[in-house]
Every structure is written in C-alpha cells, then in structure tokens.
Structure 1
Amino acid sequence: MSILESFSLAVKNILSSKTRTLLTMLGIIIGVAAVIVIVGLGNGLEQYMTDSFSGLGTNTLTVSVSSRGSTRSLSVDEMYGIVDENSQYLDQCSPTVSMNGYVKIGSDTVSSTSVQGVSEDYVDISGASVSSGRNLQYSDMKLRAKVCVIGAYIDRAYFGGSAVGQTMRIYGTTFTIVGVLAQQDEDLEEGGSDDCIYLPYTTASRISGEVSSYVITMKDENYIDQSVAALENALYEVFSSDDYYTVTSMAEMVETMTSMINILVGVLAGIAAISLVVGGIGIMNIMLVSVTERTREIGIRKSLGAKERYIMQQFVIEAASTSALGGVTGILLGDLLSVAASVVATRLMGENLSVSPTLAAVAAAFGISVGIGILFGYLPAKKAAVLNPIDALHYD
C-alpha cells in the first residue's frame, strides 16, 4: 500500500466520524492557536518597545553624575572635554537639568508639563525639530537667557498656535518663548511627548541646582561597548571610583527589555504548549479505540497478506492527518484571534500594538502538531500491526 493510498484511507476514516474527530483535535487546535497568539503578542510588544525607545534615540548614552563630596565634582566644561577627547566614539553632548515645579501660563497653573534645562544640541539629539521660531542657541547658554522652546501641545492648548514671542512663568521667573517644536505624537495630549518645555541649562541650573546628568550621542551604534568603556574610563579618572557616576545606554535598555519579553513569551508559550501534549494524548486514546473497533478489518487485511509495516503506516498517517488538520484549524483560529487581539489591545491601551505572529512561529506550530500526531499515534499503530490475524478474525 502506497503512502497516498494510506492517506486517502485516513481521510475517509476521519470524515466518517466528524464529531469524534473534532473533539479529538480540540486540544491541538487550542494549543496551536494559543502558541500563535502568545508569540504574536510577544512580537508586538517587542516592536512597540523598540518604537517607543527609538524616539528617545537608541544611539544615546545617559550619564548620571553625583558629586564626590567636597573633594571632587565634574563641571560641564570637563564633560564636554571628555566628549571631545573621545570624538572617535562620542558626538554630541547636552547637560540636562530636570525641574520639578509649577509652570504658570496666564492664569493657568500647569503641573503635568516636563520642564528641562538643556543645551542647544538637545533638540537635535532627541530627534525633534523646530516648527516655528528658533531653537535654543549657544549664546542663550552663555548669557543665561530667560528664553524657552515649548512643545506643540502647549502651543495649541494655551496659545492657540501663536506662542512665539509670548511669555510664561517658571519657578516664578518670566521666560520668553522663542520656538515651538514640531508635533511628535499622533495625538496632542496632556503629559505626552509634546507637553514639554526646554530652557537653557545654565538658566535652569541657577534656578534649581547644578547639572547632574548628560545625554551624549554615539557616532556609531555598532561600537556601543567601546563608547561606554571610553566614557567610563574617563569618568573613573576624575572620581577614582565608579560609585559616583552611571552610564546607561538606550540600546542596552531596549535589548534588556526585549530579552525579558522573550523570556516571558517563552514561558507562556510553554504553558500553552501543554495543551498540545494533552491533544496528543487525546489522539492516542482515540486511535487506540479505533484499533479496537477495526480489529476484524485488520485481521482480514493481514490474512490477505498485508504486512505489519503497511498496517502501522496506515494508523500513523491517520493520527498525523488528524493532528495536522487540527494544526491547520488552530493556525486559522490563531490568526483570527491575533487580529482581534490587535484591535482590543489598541483600543484599551490607546497605542498602536500589533499582535503579529511570524511565519516561523506558524510553521513551528504546524510542525509540532504533526510531530505530536506521529509520536502519539505510534503506540496504537504498533498495537494494530502486531495483532494476530487469527485472533483478530475471531474478535467480536
């Protein structure tokens, strides 16, 4: 008997008992669909994380510095000097001063707005651009000018799109708005990326304290390790200890979070795959029942000269076909659930999160389902193959 004939006979046996076959495949269907959705969710989260951090710049290093008491501290000029000395790896640098305080625009007091003191390079480092007016300039840093650049949300919400030349009060000090940044988020909302104010770091440090962090860009992301090492070595020479500074790479943060997501997805996919094993046990059980029901048929075939390997081949192919059919159904169900999950996740989170299973995941799920059918169909097939034809013919 050829494999094609065995497959044709297997399809007939499967179709002859549709309800039993569906119930048999249920574990496989659920397992495959669950694995596909979970892997797709993991891919979506990974892409969402990458997109979120790419806006912050994966080619940036963040340096946090704390003064070593009265014995040693790092000035802004010294940090610029370190960047210049390692120009083969490092490019732009911006001191940053975070300001926690209120902003008063006219009669409105704003508390959710992000206020930072930065250099003239920060807008370029962050990937933003100025849509109207001008950016902060080097002269603003030197003169400690009371000027600022604001995000698109503040421009629209409080100035009706005409903020350039207007004033606002930060920490009780009046600042003149000299520029408005181009919109970054799809929607303008309070607390978003467009709800921000940048002022000269020299002015900010006079108001709220010294500079304690820096954002530095790398010339080539492929040399992250070398860039970090060069920066840490220079800082170690200044402080003679690594307790007073921290160098953080955005790319490393993305890689770490991606690894965590992959581990979580792997664990969840492993749990979901348990149902595949349960489905395999169901297939083995139903095939054992099928062998019992078809004992006389097996006896007749063996008495007519059918070899053991043909009998075994027939039942293994039938088990594999049942499992493969369940795998295909599970893939279709998993794709439908992925589309539905994308819509639900996007609406609930308000973010563009796509649950997108990869072709490799789909192929692996199908391959595993077929493999499980063969694995769990072997025992019933072996039992059928070794039946004594005389006993089989006398079976009632």
Structure 2
Amino acid sequence: MNFTQSFKLAIKSLRTSKMRAFLTMLGIIIGVGAVIIIISLGNGLKRMVDEQVERVGITQVYAYTWGLGDGTTGNVSPEEMYELVESRPDLFEGITPWVSAGQGIRIGGEEYQKTGIYGVSEAMYRPSTGTTLDGGILARGRYLQYVDVATQSKVCVVGAYVEQTLLGGDALGKTVSIQGVPYTVVGVLAQSSETISEGGSDDRLYIPYPNAMRISGSSYVSLYQITAVSRDAVSQAQAVLTDFLRDFYHDTDGSLVYNAYYVQTMLEQVELINTMMGVAMMVLVAIAAISLLVGGIGIMNIMLVSVTERTREIGIRKSLGARRRDIRRQFIIEAGTTSAIGGLLGIAFGCLVAMGVGTLIGGMVAAQMGGNAAFSATPTLSAVAVSFGVSVGIGVLFGYLPANKAACLNPIDALRYE
C-alpha cells in the first residue's frame, strides 16, 4: 500500500466518525491558534514600537548630568557639551539641552498654571522630516532657530491646547507672558493626542534654553539630547560622551564622582523593550504549546482506541501479506493527517482572531494616541509554516506508539479478536 492509498484510508476513517475526529483535533486547533495569535500580536507590538522610535529617531543619545549635587561650577556647561559635539562632526549631528522652566503663563489678564515651559535649542527640530526629536509635528509657522537661541530672543513655539483653547485658534504673532516677560508665538505644533486638556502633552510651549535657564534659576543643564549622524555611529557616540563625562566628573583627589552622569541611547531602549517582549512572547508561546501537548495525547489516545477497534482488520491485512512497516505507516499517516487537518483549522482560527483583535487594539491605540501610532496583527508566513509543521510533527510523534502496537500484533491473535 503506497502513501496515497494510506492517506485516502486516513481521510475515510476521519469521515466515518466526524465528531470524534473533531474532538481529537480540538487540542491541536486551540494550541496552533493560540500560538499564531500570540506571535501575531507580539509582532504587531514590535512593529508599533519600531515605528514610534523611527518617528523620534533611533540615532538619539541622552546624556543626564546631575553634577556634584551642589549647583556649583563643578557641573558641565552647555558650552562644553556644544564644544564636544562640534569637535566630532563624524559622530554627532546636533545637540539640544532640555531645561524645564516650570509651569504657568499669562495671556492678557488670565493666568494658566498648568502650562509647561521647556527650553530647547534649534537642534530640537528636524527640517527634513518636519518633526521634533520627541515626535511632535510642526503645523504652522517655524521652529526655534539658531539666532533665537544665540540672542536669547523672546519667541516661543506652542502646543495645540495653548493655541486652540488659550489663544482662540490663531496663535501666530500673538503674545504669551512668562514671569512678566512677553514672548511672541512663532510656531504651532500639531495636536499629539485625541483629546487636548489642561496640563496635557499639548499644553506646553518651547523657548530658547538660555531663557529657560534664567527663568528656572539653574546654572547647569541636567539633560542633553544628542543626535548621532547614523545608526551605526550611535555606539561610538555614546562611548565618546561617556569618556568625556567620566573625565570631567572627577573629584579634586582624582576619584570618580559616581551618579554624576548617565548616558543612554534610544537604540538601547529599543533593544531592551524588544528583549522583554521576546521573553514574554516565549513564555506565552510555551504556555500555548501545552495545548499542543494535550492535543498530541488526545491523538495518541484515539489512535490506541482505533487500533483496538480495527484489530481484526489488521489481522486480515497481515494474513494477506502486509508487512509491519505497512501497518505502521498507515496508522502514522492517519495520526499525521488528523493533526495536519487540526493544524490547518487552527491556522485559520488563529489568523481570523489575530486580525480581529489587532483591528480592535489598533482602534484603541489610534484613539489614545490621536492617530500618531498604528497597530496591526497580521500573521507572518513563518509563524504559519512553523505552526503547521509542529502540528504535523505532534501527530506523527504521538501516533508512533499506537502505530507500532498495531504493527507488532500477531496475525493469528488479531484474527481471533472479537
């Protein structure tokens, strides 16, 4: 009996008892479906993270400088950081200090205490993409320029909440007062969330960082955002910054001042997130694979029952010249066919559920992030292929014991079986 005949017999056997066959496949269906759903959702989450990072920029390096903690000149200055960046154009593209100048602005006779004020440089804006380094989109006007920072001009860029709610929907050219000093609005950022609210991500404005330092009374900057020239240069840029800060923050006796600085890259953050998501996916897939194990045990159980029910048939075939390997092959093919059909049904189930759940989550993400993020859970070809291969393998593996039992039956005893 060749493979084709054995396969046709397997299909005939499954069609004879459809409900029993379906219940046998159920563990495989659930296991394969769960694996595809988990992998699809995990891949969708990774893609969303990668897209968000690309918006911000994978080449970003963050240098946190806390200094000696006493507010003295022992802290690195913006001028020194600028000098370092400008000395290595092969590694660094630009740098912007981040200075928080607190909250609170005045427009006309009204005070708004929750509006955040941040000081940055012109390097915060990327003209090539029309976005800021933190993912903001310039809707109208212009961003801060080098001359604004160098001359400490009284200009600002405002968020969508400030324009729409506080400035009546047309902010360009209008004046906002910060600690009694008037600042002219030269640019407006697009809305970054679905709903804008007081104190939210759209209720803020950006001014030249020297102005923010003066407002906050700070003599040094605690956060610098540096852009490397390329993804390949990120690691070397981080090393150069670390060496510079390590050499700078030494006490008078030559010992290193710990906790004085910290350098981190966006690439490290992404790799850490992907590693954590990978571990979580592996754990979830392992849990889902238990269903495959249960399905395999179910196949082995039903095949043992099938061998018992067909003992007389096995005896007749052996008496007509069937060899052990023919009997073994027939039952292994039957077990493999059962698990393969279960795997196909599981793949269909998993793909439908994954796309449905992905669409639901995508809508929720879009609503929460104002369309600035997209989520989709489309099953990959590799996940489908691996799931199907594993399902067939489970059937063959767990079907071998019943098949071997059938092959080893004594034909005389099998013919006497009632």
Question: Which residue identity lines up with residue 189 of structure 1 in the other structure?
Answer: I
1:33 maps to what in 2? 33
Indicate which of 248, 254, 266 corresponds to 1:250: 266
> Aligned in 2, Cα 1:192/1:71: closer, same or farther, shift over 3 Å?
closer
Asked if structure 2 preserves the Cα contact closer than 8 Å seen for 1:63 and 1:246, the reply is yes
Query: Which stretch shifts more, 310-319 or 248-257?
Result: 248-257
Q: What SS is found at the alignment partner of 1:176?
A: strand
Distance 1:108 1:43 in 2: 48
CA RMSD of aligned residues (A): 2.1
> Aligned in 2, Cα 1:261/1:292: closer, same or farther, shift over 3 Å?
same
Indicate which of 345, 353, 362 corresponds to 1:337: 353
> Aligned in 2, Cα 1:135/1:67: closer, same or farther, shift over 3 Å?
same
2:7 maps to what in 1? 7
Question: Which residue identity lines up with residue 323 of structure 1 in the other structure?
Answer: S
> Aligned in 2, Cα 1:247/1:7: closer, same or farther, shift over 3 Å?
same
Report Cα offsets for 1:63-95 as digits up to 9, x if no partner.
Answer: 111122446211111000111122211110111
Q: What SS is found at the alignment partner of 1:156?
A: helix
> Aligned in 2, Cα 1:62/1:334: closer, same or farther, shift over 3 Å?
same
> Aligned in 2, Cα 1:330/1:150: closer, same or farther, shift over 3 Å?
same
Indicate which of 323, 326, 330 corresponds to 1:310: 326
Distance 1:319 1:51 in 2: 44
The correspondence of residues 1-396 of structure 1 with structure 2, limited to 5 A, is 1-68=1-68, 69=70, 70=72, 72-106=74-108, 110=112, 113-124=115-126, 126=133, 130-171=138-179, 173-181=181-189, 183=190, 185=192, 187=194, 189-190=196-197, 194-208=202-216, 209=218, 210-240=220-250, 241=256, 243-349=259-365, 350=367, 352-396=374-418
Distance 1:292 1:377 in 2: 14
Asked if structure 1 preserves the Cα contact closer than 8 Å seen for 2:136 and 2:192, the reply is no
> Aligned in 2, Cα 1:264/1:107: closer, same or farther, shift over 3 Å?
farther
Distance 1:192 1:251 in 2: 27
Question: Which residue identity lines up with residue 327 of structure 1 in the other structure?
Answer: G
Report percent identity of matched pairs: 47
Question: Which residue identity lines up with residue 44 of structure 1 in the other structure?
Answer: G
Distance 1:305 1:153 in 2: 86
- Give the drift of 1:192: 6.3
Report Cα offsets for 1:195-223 as digits up to 9, x if no partner.
Answer: 44110101111111242111110011112
Asked if structure 2 preserves the Cα contact closer than 8 Å seen for 1:123 and 1:129, the reply is no
Question: Which residue identity lines up with residue 372 of structure 1 in the other structure?
Answer: I
Query: Which stretch shifts more, 14-23 or 336-345?
Result: 336-345
- Give the drift of 1:141: 2.2
Q: What SS is found at the alignment partner of 2:56?
A: coil
> Aligned in 2, Cα 1:122/1:28: closer, same or farther, shift over 3 Å?
same
Distance 1:51 1:112 in 2: 30
Report Cα offsets for 1:127-184 as digits up to 9, x if no partner.
Answer: 6564433322333323333221113443234334420111223455432212223x36
Distance 1:58 1:174 in 2: 36
Question: Which residue identity lines up with residue 322 of structure 2 in the other structure?
Answer: A
Distance 2:417 2:116 in 1: 83
The alignment of Structure 1 onto Structure 2 pairs a total of residues equal to 395
Asked if structure 1 preserves the Cα contact closer than 8 Å seen for 2:104 and 2:117, the reply is no
Asked if structure 2 preserves the Cα contact closer than 8 Å seen for 1:133 and 1:179, the reply is yes
- Give the drift of 1:188: 5.9
Q: Which runs of 5+ in 1 are unaligned?
A: none
Asked if structure 2 preserves the Cα contact closer than 8 Å seen for 1:101 and 1:171, the reply is no
Q: What SS is found at the alignment partner of 1:121?
A: helix
2:253 maps to what in 1? none
Distance 2:121 2:360 in 1: 41
Distance 2:330 2:314 in 1: 11
Runs of 4+ in 1 over 6 A off after TM superposition: none
Asked if structure 2 preserves the Cα contact closer than 8 Å seen for 1:101 and 1:170, the reply is no
Asked if structure 2 preserves the Cα contact closer than 8 Å seen for 1:62 and 1:215, the reply is yes
Q: What SS is found at the alignment partner of 2:118?
A: strand
